[in-house]
Amino acid sequence: MSKAKKTTTTAAAAARTPAGKEDRHFVTALARGLSVLSCFSSGEKMLGNLDIAKRCKLPKSTVSRLTYTLTKLGYLVYVEDTGKYRLGTSTLALGSAMLARLDVRDLARPLMQELADFSKAMVSLGSRDRLSMIYVGNARSTAALTLSLDIGSRIPIATTAMGRAYLALITEREREDIMERVRELDEVAWPAIRAGIERSLKEYRETGCVSSFGEWQSDVNAIAVPLRPGGGLPPMAINCGGPAFTLSKEFLLGEVRPRLIALVRQLEVSLGMRG
């Protein structure tokens, strides 16, 4: 299974929490519709009803009604040649409106590019969507080898540096809720995942930064720092990562970490979150 499929499946599964069924304010039909839209990752442009049904773990008949409704509203477009769907302009408009509000991206871009050039890696800004982190900003160095992730890409919240940075900043109650949902998805892997999260929380308290060295993908190293954007926006995170054979643990922690922490602090001052 590809990285895109793994993260999309995780996002879809997260929409089906038992807590949602017990909450009388929770609209299951709406959650299912949004789960369908979340199946369209940046790496796959078109999906059929059967593809969506497998990822959302919903009956195909239910998915057919959802895709029909979403098509009528302009959130999906049916492509007759393939018998599959792609995202429609209504969905793109929602994304564009959200990104337009993120002034933090404009402020962060030159700072992120400077760090990317120094580290010869990729520096990204991300926000949470259920059990994933979504890239909303990217800066790449001119190095030949960097990660292929782009704006709109999803990565797991529990095993990546960016996700762990987010977990380090939110309240204990929010963190416990997310961790419980992660545990439900993979009971077997959970002990190792939990140990990694707890180590990252300790790491953040001691150093102001979290890391993931080969824990998400065996050949990827990354560090991250949480960001308070203010303006009513939820916490975000900025990471710096790349192939492990070009981006060593020692270099990331010794050279990149103080620069990444300074970047986030400068950004928070510009956003009015620090004096």
By three-state DSSP, how is residue 250 classified? helix
- Residue reference for tokens 């259920």: 130
pTM given for the model: 0.71
CATH 1.10.10.10 fits 3-94, yes or no: yes
Dump pLDDT digits (tens) for 234-265.
899 999 999 999 999 999 999 999 999 999 99
Dump pLDDT digits (tens) for 177-206.
999 999 998 999 999 999 999 999 999 999
Confidence of residue 43 (pLDDT cuts 50, 70, 90): low
Fold that domain 102-270 belongs to in CATH: Beta-Lactamase (3.30.450)
- Residue reference for tokens 């039909």: 29
Q: Where are the domains of the chain?
A: 3-94, 102-270
Confidence of residue 266 (pLDDT cuts 50, 70, 90): very high
β partners of residue 134: 127, 154
183-216-41 Cα angle (round to 5)? 85
Q: Which of these, 154, 150, 169, 153, lies nearest to 224 by C-alpha position? A: 169
